[in-house]
């Protein structure tokens, strides 16, 4: 068990305990803070305090961080595309169709299973089913992921995702023509009120989400976008683009097959029907190495089916 001590400074007087701890980027994520408080692993002046406790000047606090839980995922010899690797982290190009980590219904064949075979060990902070995982991509989304090999790298990368300093860009093929060349959408994103499998843009409930987009190329009834996200909410890009009225091609959850009727070119329509995942690719990632402080950036092209559809669109009359 690791113990981290802190002292309440003048600028933090009056803050709620949970808010204060969540602001300390070198410690834990907001969810980990809540769990630590619930498990009585946070003390102020030697006493366990609730999340709502208001801090006072010069109080001495301690937060206990449990030792990493031994990993329980099974290594699997699955093909991986490694873009970069050192002693602290590994950057991979995830194919569409691969789940990032084991969960109900998907305990094998995941990126984590493949990484455990390749790396033998990963950071244990994410728990037994999500070792090393700092951020995620949906099953149907392809592209770049950085994974932590040790706890120091995990905490450093998590801090960068938390303060939105990591640059993440996607390419997306969407239905329709955009009304302008670029824009920003900011909403709250929360669980869909009717479908637990979906998220939705909501006016009052949910987590703040910000997505920037710009037009790269226009076709008849379809647009290629570059999308940059500030936040990383579940299904954020897909939800926001659907909310704008421009769902991602191949997205059966947030789109509709009725949009195919808008495509007048038979060859393009047939090509879209063959797509079995959202045409969304996380093609650019830039961050600061959490231990060496080197600036790292990576770029990958979209997968073959994405590129094939682009070629069809460019060749269409």
107: Cα separation from own chain's centroid: 20
Let me know if 297 is a catalytic residue. no
The two tokens of residue 287 are: 């961050």
| CA dist list (Å): 18 to 12, 36, 63, 136, 222 | 12, 10, 11, 25, 46
Is-contact 284 168, C-beta < 8 A? yes
Write the DSSP symbol of residue 234: T
Give the ranges where 79-210 is alpha helix by DSSP (H).
111-119, 151-162
Q: Which helix (H) or strand (E) holds 281?
A: strand 280-288
Active-site pick, 18, 67, 86, 138:
138
> CB count, 10 Å around CB of 211?
24
Instruction: Report the DSSP beta bridge partners of residue 218.
Output: 223
Angle between helices 266-273 and 304-315 (to 10 degrees): 170
Rounded CA-CA distance 189/184 in Å is 15
CB-CB contact of 6 with 65 (8 Å):
no
- What are the b/e assignments for 219-258, b being 16+ CB within 10 Å? bebbbbbbbbbbebbebbbbbbbbbbebbbbbbebbbeee
Q: What region does 28 belong to: left with phi over 0, alpha with psi -120 to 50, or beta? A: beta
**Catalytic residue positions?**
138
């Amino acid at each position: 068990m690791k113990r981290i001590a802190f002292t309440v400074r003048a600028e933090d007087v009056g803050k709620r305990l949970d808010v204060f701890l969540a602001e300390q980027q070198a410690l834990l994520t907001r969810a980990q803070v809540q769990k630590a408080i619930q498990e009585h692993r946070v003390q102020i002046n030697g006493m366990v305090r609730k999340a709502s406790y208001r801090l006072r000047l010069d109080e001495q606090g301690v937060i206990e961080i449990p030792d990493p839980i031994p990993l329980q995922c099974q290594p699997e010899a699955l093909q991986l595309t490694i873009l970069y690797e050192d002693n602290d982290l590994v950057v991979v190009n995830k194919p569409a169709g691969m789940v990032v980590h084991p969960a109900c219904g998907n305990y094998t064949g995941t990126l984590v299973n493949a990484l455990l075979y390749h790396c033998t060990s990963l950071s244990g902070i994410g728990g037994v089913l999500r070792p090393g995982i700092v951020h995620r991509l949906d099953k149907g989304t392809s592209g770049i992921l950085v994974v932590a090999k040790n706890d120091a790298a995990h905490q450093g990368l998590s801090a960068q995702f938390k303060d939105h300093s990591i640059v993440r860009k996607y390419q997306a093929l969407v239905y329709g023509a955009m009304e302008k060349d670029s824009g920003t959408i900011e909403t709250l994103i929360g669980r869909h009120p009717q479908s637990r499998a979906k998220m939705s843009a909501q006016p009052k409930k949910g987590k703040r989400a910000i997505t920037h987009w710009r037009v790269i190329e226009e076709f008849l009834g379809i647009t290629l976008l570059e999308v940059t996200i500030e936040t990383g909410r579940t299904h954020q890009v897909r939800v926001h683009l659907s909310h704008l009225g421009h769902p991602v091609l191949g997205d059966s959850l947030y789109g509709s097959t009725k949009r195919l009727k808008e495509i007048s070119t038979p060859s393009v329509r047939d090509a879209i029907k063959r797509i079995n995942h959202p045409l969304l690719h996380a093609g650019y990632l830039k961050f600061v190495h959490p231990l060496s402080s080197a600036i790292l950036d990576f770029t990958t092209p979209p997968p073959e089916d994405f590129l094939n559809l682009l070629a069809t669109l460019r060749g269409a009359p």
